[in-house]
Chain A
């Protein structure tokens, strides 16, 4: 049975709000039926902040720093305007704010590049302390919304505009792993996320690895190594491998989504980089 992601998620939020008087929902003038229902029942805790995304993210930080647990909702492409406030006001202090972004990938295709959510995963991945979910099924969306609330840390959940089916997820699924494997024929695998997982399921692909958590990246080393036989460190053998049994599919660019995430997981080049965390004020080592 298909469901709109917004309906699924806001039903959960309303449910949570009935139990927790400290939840506040902010939106930047973007509507949703589910949000209307919340506003009707809790008008003082559902606030349309107006067309002002930077302020919306700063408000979320101030509210969360005062003991509130905040949901923020808007069109993905424009939420990114508040990127620095997300970094400084929400993620550096590691506050309980969940950003619900509408319009993953090319959901709003006809609205053109100003509405295409093709950079947001890269932008949000770049911020430490931010967990990103990209659910392919409304069952997953409901679950990760609850998980985000319970975690009390910064979260970003991407919502497609296309109504989704449960696909291969049952009602009591555990979504802790960050990815799920459907099927067991590793000779023909699709590694996908979001709408591409829906497409693969629709095409009845024999084996799909649905990566619904994009950050932190799930530990898929078992499957990746199986698929790519990277146990052998013979460079010639690796080069000669025809990787025709696996395909990554994502409605984003190479540099802004699942492909770069998988590539980073597979990168075995020795590297000196900064840790995945905010660093305190510190001087560089002189050289």
Chain B
């Protein structure tokens, strides 16, 4: 597990430097799900078998760095907008993941499908269409992780459309639900390894910008990059 904690720190550094080098990138939304990504790609997922859909595509820096680290080329619809390396369209990934889960069931395969969404992304009605479908069809091979960093782009989510008790919403749609600290790799790994007779939803409490203190919980940093003194401070925090 200490290895995974160290891996998470490395992934944070790498994704940050990637954004700085390109002079563009959504850093805080990528930082908030690093532990979740590490738990999945370096532990829970059976890489050749399972599927992962990054529905909150603006968190892709994390995925880019992990795919490079593992030497993987995404050869399936891994994010809305695939095969282009682009920012996606919110609210579409869960339907795609549900389709993949359904395909696996039709094939009698043991494939698991994981999908990552943001809490504000749950504003999209299409998410709930997919949630209803997965619940009704008992897609027990489908696991959804909500990166609940409680922020959208312009504000805190509660100031725009408050999502209330997210787990309760999925629960009533026929999902097995859990809540966890999204930065605790061991807890996250345990929950993501769980199976039930229903689709599984993990609502992970996270901090947008986790790892760079002046970004944490600060709405202004959604896709802003630090320069000068702030850049030095960020690098020091991530070291």
Which A residues are closer than 8 A to B by beta carbons?
24, 44-45, 47, 49-50, 52, 54-55, 57-68, 84-85, 88-89, 92-93, 95, 278, 280-281
A61 to B102 Cα, complex, angstroms? 12
Residues of B within 8 A of A64 (CB): 99
Residue among A55, A62, A88, A93 with max Cβ neighbours from chain B (10 Å): A62
Residues of B within 8 A of A50 (CB): 129, 132-133, 136
A-B contact pairs, 18 of them (CB 8 A): A24-B106, A50-B129, A50-B132, A54-B126, A55-B98, A55-B132, A58-B98, A59-B95, A61-B99, A62-B53, A62-B97, A62-B100, A63-B100, A63-B103, A66-B103, A88-B80, A280-B84, A281-B85
Known: A50-B132, A93-B82. A65 touches B95 (CB 8 A): no
User: Interface residues of B toward A: which range?
Assistant: 20 to 34
Q: Which residues of B (72-121) have their CB < 8 Å from a CB of A?
A: 76-77, 80-86, 88-89, 91-92, 94-104, 106
B102–A59 contact, CB under 8 A?
Answer: yes
Closest to B101 in A: A62
A199 smallest CB distance to B (angstroms)? 39
Residues of B within 8 A of A67 (CB): 103
A61's partner among B96, B126, B132, B133 (CB-CB below 8 A) is B96
A92–B126 contact, CB under 8 A?
Answer: no
Which B residues are closer than 8 A to A by beta carbons?
51, 53, 76-77, 80-86, 88-89, 91-92, 94-104, 106, 125-126, 129-130, 132-133, 136
A280–B86 contact, CB under 8 A?
Answer: yes
A143 to B123 Cα, complex, angstroms? 42
Known: A59-B133, A89-B80. A280 touches B96 (CB 8 A): no
A59's partner among B53, B84, B98 (CB-CB below 8 A) is B98
Closest to B99 in A: A62
B81–A68 contact, CB under 8 A?
Answer: no
Closest to B91 in A: A54
Closest to B126 in A: A54
A61–B98 contact, CB under 8 A?
Answer: no
